[in-house]
A and B are shown apart, each in its own frame.
Chain A
Amino acid sequence: MAEVLLHIEQLSKSFPMPGGRLLTAVENVSFTVETGSVCVLLGPSGSGKSTILRIIAGLETQTAGAVRLRGRPIAGPGRDRGMVFQAYTSFDWLPVGKNVEFGMKINGVPARERRERAARFVDLVGLTKFIDAYPSRLSGGMRQRVAIARTLANAPEVLLMDEPFGALDAETRWQMQELMVDIARDSGATIIMVTHDIEEAIFLADKIVFLSSHPGRLREVIVPDFKPAERIRNKERVLELPGFGQLERKIMRMMREEGERV
């Protein structure tokens, strides 16, 4: 993990509030994201995680600072930064396969290549049986898989995910987390994920960016280096590693301190 893909430099964002005051959501946050790594933004709610992710996606503009992708400052949303939201975003009028093809279609990928790639990513998320089904027939977890496949098939340089599993039940949630390990390992994707689930953060992250709230500031960058370089898919095995519990307790303490500050 050498090359830096994304530089987040002294990023600040304030929102105008009714009454003319400004609410500082993010203040002077800097970190880097390496090519092929999984970076998790963790922190209590209101710490500006979503705001940072949305600035990286180009859906929000920063008040100060910069986000550079391979050195180029980003300007507006683009296909190089695909986003998966917590809310379902399946295009209900298209069957699963066509949902996954959507990005490629609007970007002019020829029909044959499009279908092949879509089939491959639908398979990656385990939905081959449902490729012709409409999303309304799918469960919540399956719809999130469609969203992930649709974003990955569009070949973004970074996959941005804002609490993608927040609405799922516990079992589906860890299955999806293990799926993310597969994706990180097999597709080599660079992933930035927002969560407030400590276990999820430690399990998936190569780097945890811990933010404190009101205003959202960088508190600590944590590298869970108790994990081996080779990604482990099985969640229990990661939970069993010496070092997991210690890190989990450390982060829980940080969370509690944040809670006590307000």
Chain B
Amino acid sequence: MASPPGSRNAGVLRVRAPVSPRQSAISAVGIWVVFFGVWTLANRMGWVNPILVPPPDQVLKTLYTLFAEQGFASDVLISVERVLVAFAMACLVAVPLGVAMGAFPAIDVVLSPFVSAWRYLPAPSFIPILLMWFGTGEAPKLALLFLGVIFFLITLIADHTKEVRKELIETALTLGAGQRVTVLRVMLPAVLPSIVTAMRQMLAMTWTYLVIAEIVASTTGIGAMMMRARRFLHTDEILAGIIVIGALGLVFDMAFAALHRRLFPYLQESR
């Protein structure tokens, strides 16, 4: 078998070899087909207890009835609202603080020691005290979500702002810009794409804290529904809840990606 020169390593796995869109589409669908295939097979063959692991088609049916007959949509809406409100509040605080820390070392040396210390405290450790302070309404949940992301968000934004190239800042100064103009008209637009990317990452984290908040301390929302289902051994409802959380996370992530493309068209134009 004479092989042409250079073809010695021409198998499927070649370092950094580009993949056709077709191959990547088939691969993406394929992995899920395998996943659901194994799951179905496990149920059919009786390898798993159907009470603990219901078959996929039953989970999908349950998902439908949850929405159609059991008013699950209102739980979903409440969860989405909590994430969005808490996340918006976190951004409103984090963007100005982070940019100010990244722009002015005098502000950074004050806030940095404070913010970094809080980052190492797991937000869920505040749940008991938040419940005592805020009672059982929306406030403790929003506070947990807020605390869970705010310090990371501030740090990320401050770091990105510190990375704005010195030459850009000095160009602004030698064009006659003062402090305010340099920060608002040069540093802020320069760092904005990175800020939106940081937000995208932190939004995913907000979802994590939402589920914790709703499982521990809520009677409404997707997490609370899942805890209710647990009491009645409704594993299909729990799995349906997981699917909805995953789907929502994906939708929000895609929305942020689209927003990024929309806001920063100049980044796409680079060759």
Tell me the bound Cα distance from A162 to B176 in angstroms: 18
**Cβ of B168: which chain A residues have Cβ within 8 Å of it?**
89, 91
How many residue pairs, one in A and one in B, have C-beta atoms under 8 Å apart?
75
**Cβ of B175: which chain A residues have Cβ within 8 Å of it?**
79, 82, 102-103, 106-107, 150-151, 154
**Cβ of B170: which chain A residues have Cβ within 8 Å of it?**
57, 59, 77, 83, 85
- Within residues 144 to 174 of chain B, which ones have a CB less than 8 A from any CB in chain A? 165, 167-168, 170-171, 173-174
In the complex the two chains form, is B174's CB within 8 Å of A83's CB? Answer: yes
B177 contact from A58, A92, A106, A156, Cβ within 8 A = A106
Cβ of A137 < 8 Å from any Cβ of B?
yes
Name which residue of chain B comes closest to A134, CB basis. B266
In the complex the two chains form, is B176's CB within 8 Å of A59's CB? Answer: no
Cβ of A234 < 8 Å from any Cβ of B?
no
In angstroms, how far is the closest chain A Cβ from the Cβ of B181? 5
A91 contact from B174, B190, B265, B270, Cβ within 8 A = B190
Known: A87-B165, A134-B266. A103 touches B190 (CB 8 A): no
In the complex the two chains form, is B174's CB within 8 Å of A59's CB? Answer: yes
Tell me the bound Cα distance from A89 to B181 in angstroms: 16
**Cβ of A175: which chain B residues have Cβ within 8 Å of it?**
none
Known: A93-B264, A93-B266. A77 touches B181 (CB 8 A): no
Cβ of B185 < 8 Å from any Cβ of A?
yes
Cβ of A136 < 8 Å from any Cβ of B?
yes
B167 contact from A85, A135, A137, Cβ within 8 A = A85
In the complex the two chains form, is A136's CB within 8 Å of B266's CB? Answer: yes
- Within residues 121 to 171 of chain A, which ones have a CB less than 8 A from any CB in chain B? 133-137, 147, 150-151, 154, 156, 160
Cβ of B132 < 8 Å from any Cβ of A?
no
Q: Mark B239-271, 1 if CB is under 8 A from A, else 0.
A: 000000000000000000000000011110111
Cβ of B189 < 8 Å from any Cβ of A?
yes
A92 contact from B171, B176, B266, Cβ within 8 A = B266
A89 contact from B167, B177, B264, B269, Cβ within 8 A = B167
In the complex the two chains form, is A59's CB within 8 Å of B266's CB? Answer: no
Tell me the bound Cα distance from A74 to B130 in angstroms: 56
Cβ of B186 < 8 Å from any Cβ of A?
yes
Name which residue of chain B comes closest to A102, CB basis. B175
In angstroms, how far is the closest chain B Cβ from the Cβ of A191? 14
Tell me the bound Cα distance from A85 to B175 in angstroms: 13
**Cβ of B171: which chain A residues have Cβ within 8 Å of it?**
83, 85, 89, 147
**Cβ of A150: which chain B residues have Cβ within 8 Å of it?**
175
B173, B176, B186 — which one has the most chain A CB atoms within 10 A of its CB?
A: B176
Secondary structure at the A interface, as helix, strand, loop or mixed, is loop
In the complex the two chains form, is A77's CB within 8 Å of B174's CB? Answer: yes
In angstroms, how far is the closest chain B Cβ from the Cβ of A183? 17
- Within residues 57 to 102 of chain A, which ones have a CB less than 8 A from any CB in chain B? 57-59, 77-79, 81-83, 85, 87-89, 91-93, 102
**Cβ of B190: which chain A residues have Cβ within 8 Å of it?**
91-93
In the complex the two chains form, is B174's CB within 8 Å of A106's CB? Answer: no
In angstroms, how far is the closest chain B Cβ from the Cβ of A61? 14
In angstroms, how far is the closest chain A Cβ from the Cβ of B270? 4
**Cβ of B177: which chain A residues have Cβ within 8 Å of it?**
106
In angstroms, how far is the closest chain A Cβ from the Cβ of B229? 48
A83, A88, A106, A135 — which one has the most chain B CB atoms within 10 A of its CB?
A: A106
Tell me the bound Cα distance from A10 to B59 in angstroms: 83
Tell me the bound Cα distance from A260 to B114 in angstroms: 52
Name which residue of chain A comes closest to B189, CB basis. A93
Tell me the bound Cα distance from A89 to B174 in angstroms: 12
Name which residue of chain B comes closest to A108, CB basis. B176
Tell me the bound Cα distance from A70 to B262 in angstroms: 48
- Within residues 83 to 131 of chain B, which ones have a CB less than 8 A from any CB in chain A? none
Name which residue of chain A comes closest to B265, CB basis. A134
**Cβ of A93: which chain B residues have Cβ within 8 Å of it?**
189-190, 192, 264, 266
**Cβ of A89: which chain B residues have Cβ within 8 Å of it?**
165, 167-168, 171
In angstroms, how far is the closest chain A Cβ from the Cβ of B178? 8
**Cβ of B264: which chain A residues have Cβ within 8 Å of it?**
93
**Cβ of A147: which chain B residues have Cβ within 8 Å of it?**
171
In angstroms, how far is the closest chain B Cβ from the Cβ of A146? 11
Name which residue of chain A comes closest to B182, CB basis. A106
13 further contact pairs, Cβ within 8 A, besides A103-B176, A134-B266: A57-B170, A57-B174, A78-B176, A83-B170, A89-B167, A92-B267, A93-B189, A106-B177, A134-B269, A136-B267, A137-B271, A151-B175, A160-B174
| Chain A to chain B: the 3 pairs with minimum beta-carbon distance, closest first | A79-B176, A136-B270, A103-B175
B residues sitting closer than 8 Å to A (CB atoms) are 165, 167-168, 170-171, 173-177, 181, 185-186, 189-190, 192, 264-267, 269-271
6 contacts between A and B (CB under 8 A): A78-B174, A79-B176, A89-B165, A89-B168, A92-B267, A93-B264
